Chains A and B, each alone.
Chain A
């Protein structure tokens, strides 16, 4: 190497050494940061881990682990009240997901394409539910139903959840709609499709990954929503979250641990699905908006 270097006296060996030193510095692991990260994840997941662990407890205690057993899962499987609540929650989530995806998707299309002052105002108003404390939405929904003389039921939960979820769907889909090439829909119409056919045959398939990602997110949000459900549900049947809350007031049953663990497993599956769906379509994450990419 020394031989290849030009014979200039002003170019010493420095350039060859410096990059190596720099690389070494970047390689050194910042231990403080690693510790902070470890503490963060511990605080985040320890309580959940405890719940999962004690769901396999053979004893009824919530503090002493007696040994591995599936008795609380067994108990849950035979608890008709909890099972019917689970069914109610699933129904509410499905209906709310379907409703908010349709309405939120339509809103996203409208907001992107209607470039009037009223349109941009609607775009801002749409964001309000995201920052409104949920308890306010809950109380307001309950007062609205009472005022209209509508009896609280599973149906009122569904309506409230749809209202609440539209914003999430719209926020996710709006950026996708804006990123669509307008010429593609024009091309469809040019080839003989009506406006509606162009939307159905070209625009919606292009939006499908984002739509599915939004659906999964809304399903998960609605399924474990408590506040809104608490204020708008009728007495029977109650959604799972509300049922668990009531059950805890009369003393915690370890069955709840089993339910919690199952919900956790379900959520993990959903998130995995949401991350996986866009890959199916050969493009990067539909959940970009969530992961901040």
Chain B
């Protein structure tokens, strides 16, 4: 990461966490800038939730230290840290009304009663639960409960808000809506959000920065565009959407696939001829027509056509056993009879710089 003058809102310094002898998190260094929407992204068991729990104070690191706004809080209990958490299960207090749920943190801090009422009202408006102050959590829908959990944490104006897969339990449509809303709320309150998710779309949509984790380590940390367009490893490339990952040997601006043709990838500095590499092209970066002048064009056989409304995905076999997934907007070929179907031979091409080559 860049060394900046500003003190990061959260810094993990060589943090390790061992459970029963094996590492859940291994030597984690992470700086999270104040005011950012920061995502910890990775498959289940990659250590992202454990990392979040160490920031929140629910789990103590085996080694290393946790700093909040430059202050070492390692070993401090959750109630002594200026962070709040939105739990995956929402963890609402079922015996309290919505208003009392939200007021819980303020009451612990001894905030004055009228002030509590005002801030709870404000929060209810922010999360659009105005009329539900006196209801019990059990009577709310999943989306509403999620908002209560968010309001209950935000009302304390923490320096950092931790969110542990808060949208995982919602259905797809509601999840999309909440993604946008959560991002708006974050911008509005200006609080640093640390968001744990296994959903790469979610991370890409919402984050200022993303740390992709795998097996207890950060594979790559950067902006969504960095992560998607310039993945630093095979893991990141394949985790961030379909990547058409293939292996071969680099030579003179081409990668000769282990099984299949040579793919034009452009000249690469830093990769010497004869190096074994993996190569990947995102499905949406492959052209099926209207090729640009000078664009290298290859051909293959359509094996599968998957229509999904705005787009169509073609599986193109370029050599026995080697298929490329190609995503095309249904713009030029909007009618079904215009699209290709199985068995037809098509031409395809890409800009060499859109090819990702990992040594």
CA distance A281 to B96 in the complex (A): 11
Binds B, one of A39-47, A133-141, A182-190, A248-256: A182-190
Within A190-217, the residues touching B (CB, 8 Å) are 190-195, 197, 201-202, 205-206, 208
Is B186 part of the contact surface with A, judged by Cβ < 8 Å?
no
In the complex, chain B residues whose CB is within 8 Å of the CB of A281: 95
Is A282 part of the contact surface with B, judged by Cβ < 8 Å?
yes
Whether B79 pairs with A183 at a CB distance below 8 angstroms is no
Is A181 part of the contact surface with B, judged by Cβ < 8 Å?
yes
Minimal beta-carbon separation of A193 from chain B (angstroms): 5
Evaluate whether A184 and B84 lie within 8 angstroms (CB atoms) in the complex, with A192-B156, A282-B138 already known: no
In the complex, chain B residues whose CB is within 8 Å of the CB of A192: 79, 105, 108-109, 156
CA distance A197 to B110 in the complex (A): 14
Is B152 part of the contact surface with A, judged by Cβ < 8 Å?
yes
Is B78 part of the contact surface with A, judged by Cβ < 8 Å?
yes
In the complex, chain B residues whose CB is within 8 Å of the CB of A202: 93
CA distance A205 to B101 in the complex (A): 13
Is B235 part of the contact surface with A, judged by Cβ < 8 Å?
no
- Within the complex, which residue of B85, B88, B95 is in contact with A190, where a contact is CB–CB below 8 Å? B85
Evaluate whether A191 and B94 lie within 8 angstroms (CB atoms) in the complex, with A181-B89, A183-B87 already known: no
Whether A184 pairs with B108 at a CB distance below 8 angstroms is no
In the complex, chain A residues whose CB is within 8 Å of the CB of B85: 186-187, 190
Whether A189 pairs with B78 at a CB distance below 8 angstroms is yes
Whether A190 pairs with B84 at a CB distance below 8 angstroms is yes
CA distance A190 to B109 in the complex (A): 12
Minimal beta-carbon separation of A269 from chain B (angstroms): 26
In the complex, chain A residues whose CB is within 8 Å of the CB of B45: none
Evaluate whether A197 and B108 lie within 8 angstroms (CB atoms) in the complex, with A189-B79, A191-B156, A192-B79 already known: yes
Residue-wise interface mask of B (89-113) relative to A, using a CB-CB cutoff of 8 A (1 in contact, 0 not): 1011111000000001100110000
Minimal beta-carbon separation of A242 from chain B (angstroms): 41
Minimal beta-carbon separation of A282 from chain B (angstroms): 7
CA distance A170 to B15 in the complex (A): 39
Evaluate whether A190 and B78 lie within 8 angstroms (CB atoms) in the complex, with A183-B89, A197-B108 already known: yes
CA distance A188 to B85 in the complex (A): 10
Minimal beta-carbon separation of A113 from chain B (angstroms): 14
- Within the complex, which residue of A194, A195, A206 is in contact with B94, where a contact is CB–CB below 8 Å? A206
Residue of B nearest to A189 (CB): B78
Residue-wise interface mask of A (89-119) relative to B, using a CB-CB cutoff of 8 A (1 in contact, 0 not): 0000000000000000000000000000000
The number of residues on chain B lying at the interface, defined by a beta carbon within 8 Å of a beta carbon of chain A, is 26
Evaluate whether A193 and B79 lie within 8 angstroms (CB atoms) in the complex, with A186-B58, A206-B95 already known: yes
Q: Tell me the interface secondary structure of chain A in the complex.
A: helix
Whether B93 pairs with A184 at a CB distance below 8 angstroms is yes
Minimal beta-carbon separation of B128 from chain A (angstroms): 22
CA distance A268 to B153 in the complex (A): 46
In the complex, chain B residues whose CB is within 8 Å of the CB of A194: 77, 79
Residue of B nearest to A197 (CB): B108
CA distance A205 to B104 in the complex (A): 14
Residue of B nearest to A205 (CB): B95
CA distance A224 to B84 in the complex (A): 51
Whether B104 pairs with A188 at a CB distance below 8 angstroms is yes
Residue of B nearest to A202 (CB): B93
Residue of B nearest to A204 (CB): B95
Evaluate whether A186 and B87 lie within 8 angstroms (CB atoms) in the complex, with A191-B156, A206-B94 already known: yes
Is B47 part of the contact surface with A, judged by Cβ < 8 Å?
no
Is B56 part of the contact surface with A, judged by Cβ < 8 Å?
yes
Within A75-100, the residues touching B (CB, 8 Å) are none
CA distance A183 to B94 in the complex (A): 13
In the complex, chain B residues whose CB is within 8 Å of the CB of A197: 108
Whether B105 pairs with A191 at a CB distance below 8 angstroms is yes
Evaluate whether A187 and B79 lie within 8 angstroms (CB atoms) in the complex, with A192-B108, A202-B93, A206-B94 already known: no
Residue of A nearest to B83 (CB): A190
Within A231-254, the residues touching B (CB, 8 Å) are none
Whether A191 pairs with B91 at a CB distance below 8 angstroms is no
- Within the complex, which residue of B91, B138, B152, B156 is in contact with A183, where a contact is CB–CB below 8 Å? B91
Minimal beta-carbon separation of B78 from chain A (angstroms): 4
- Within the complex, which residue of A186, A191, A208 is in contact with B152, where a contact is CB–CB below 8 Å? A191
In the complex, chain A residues whose CB is within 8 Å of the CB of B105: 191-192
CA distance A187 to B166 in the complex (A): 14
A sample of 11 inter-chain contacts (CB < 8 A) reads A186-B58, A187-B87, A187-B152, A190-B56, A190-B85, A191-B79, A191-B108, A192-B108, A195-B77, A201-B104, A281-B95
If A183-B91, A192-B105 are given as contacts, then 13 extra A-B residue pairs at C-beta distance below 8 Å, sorted by A number, are A183-B88, A183-B89, A184-B92, A186-B78, A187-B85, A187-B93, A190-B56, A190-B57, A190-B58, A190-B84, A193-B79, A201-B93, A202-B93
